[in-house]
Amino acid sequence: MYYVNREQIERRLHMLPEIVEVLQSSNTLEIKDSGLLERYAIERALHLALEIVTDVGSYLIDGFIMRDASSYEDIIDIMLDEKVVDASLHAVLIELVRLRKPLVQEYFDVDRGAASALLEQLKDTEALTAFAERVRSYLDQEGIEL
């Protein structure tokens, strides 16, 4: 029997629509061209998105006793291996988690070009919404109820 804390997963997934709204409301795809407040809002939304994705992945890995992750990227790889996400969603999520170090540790020298490319990809693919749907579907398939 697995112990998966669906309540904590859902609390995190419920944040994604607000994050998507912030990202969708951006007036530009080039973050460097945004006003100061908008730039910080986009960067914070990207940061929260990647933290939610990795937190949810960690809950799944721990709850289903999947192999241990060695990095943030490995969390995403494990979700692909376990068929929580498909290859196209995996590709977007890998790019998202690769922004963690620049956004959290190297914030004074962020490559806004890479962040802008990801912002465009997130807007076009609705990856964050798809991620929430895939996680919920996986939990339902495994019989994990709220």
Enumerate the active-site residues.
Answer: 100
What is the distance between the alpha carbons of residues 135 and 57, in angstroms, rounded to a whole number?
9
What is the distance between the alpha carbons of residues 111 and 140, in angstroms, rounded to a whole number?
39
Question: 2 phi and psi, to 5 degrees?
Answer: -100, 150
Quote the distance between the C-alpha of residue 115 and its chain's center: 13
Cβ neighbours for 86, distance < 8 A, ≥ 6 positions apart: 80, 134
Can you list the positions of beta strands (E) in 38-116? none
What is the distance between the alpha carbons of residues 145 and 40, in angstroms, rounded to a whole number?
36
